[in-house]
């Protein structure tokens, strides 16, 4: 039986890995270094798919560019030291990736996160070699939902859009797939309603990567 897809591309945060502890820790540090009170925005906000700068701007309610830049800069300082150690794979990620590799799917990652941070995490857990391509913030001029990152990954993998599947956890990922012309499967790790409250084009909405094989 022939496969429809030869390449499967993943978002990273809240799709393959849970970075919520690290994100919250770094945000708290960034706010406190600028003498601002930090109140957790909660998982619903972390999984919206917006960029870090957008999250900081929205959650601080502050329009002073110097303060926002200060929060961001301090976030990056502590993230460099602790983000990798405060990120973990979801329990189903390991088996799902090995199943895909065993069945000759080629894998990649397209994220608004820094590529070097993803590579650092994957190297720590000996997963880096599973992925043929990783595209992060430093590789593109326009981040998701612009299709640039997804198109770049497909170009590097020599994969056609009709043979590529993108998997992500929010409507921004879905729009990225639509803009690039690929199929999309949404994953809702924490039962959020982001997809239900949008007009995203989905082949399927899954709760864990264990469910992925039923849609390939």
CATH 1.10.150 domain range(s) in the chain:
20-86
pLDDT at site 69: 94
Least confident segment among 50-54, 71-75, 87-91, 97-101: 50-54
pLDDT at site 47: 62
**Residue 38 in this model has a pLDDT that exceeds 90:** no
- Contact, 5 vs 165, CB < 8 A? yes
Nearest to 86 by CA among 133, 39, 26, 136: 26
pLDDT at site 46: 64
CATH number of 20-86: 1.10.150
- Contact, 117 vs 84, CB < 8 A? yes
- Contact, 57 vs 68, CB < 8 A? yes
How far apart are the C-alpha atoms of 216 and 211, rounded to whole Å?
10
- Do the strands 164-168 and 183-187 form a parallel or antiparallel pair, or are they unpaired? parallel
How far apart are the C-alpha atoms of 124 and 77, rounded to whole Å?
20
CATH 3.50.40.10 for domain 7-18+88-215:
no
- Predicted TM-score (pTM) above 0.85: yes
**Residue 5 in this model has a pLDDT that exceeds 80:** yes
């Amino acid at each position: 039986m022939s496969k429809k897809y030869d390449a499967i591309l993943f978002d990273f945060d809240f799709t393959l890995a849970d970075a919520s502890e690290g994100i919250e820790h770094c945000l708290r540090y960034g706010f406190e270094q600028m003498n601002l009170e930090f109140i957790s925005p909660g998982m619903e906000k972390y999984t919206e798919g917006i960029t870090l700068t957008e999250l900081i701007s929205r959650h601080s309610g502050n329009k002073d560019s110097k303060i926002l830049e200060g929060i961001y800069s301090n976030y990056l300082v502590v993230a460099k030291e602790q983000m990798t150690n405060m990120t973990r794979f979801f329990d189903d990620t390991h088996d799902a990736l090995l199943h895909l590799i065993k069945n000759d799917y080629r894998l990649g990652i397209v994220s608004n996160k820094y590529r070097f941070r993803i590579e650092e995490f994957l190297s720590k857990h000996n997963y880096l070699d599973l992925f043929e391509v990783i595209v992060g913030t430093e590789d593109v001029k326009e981040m998701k939902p612009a299709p640039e990152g997804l198109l770049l990954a497909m170009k590097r993998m020599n994969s056609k859009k009709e043979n590529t599947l993108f998997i992500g956890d929010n409507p921004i990922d879905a729009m990225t797939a639509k803009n690039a012309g690929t199929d999309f499967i949404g994953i809702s790790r924490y039962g959020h309603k982001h997809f239900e409250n949008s007009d995203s084009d989905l082949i399927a909405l899954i709760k864990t990567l264990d469910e992925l094989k039923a849609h390939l």
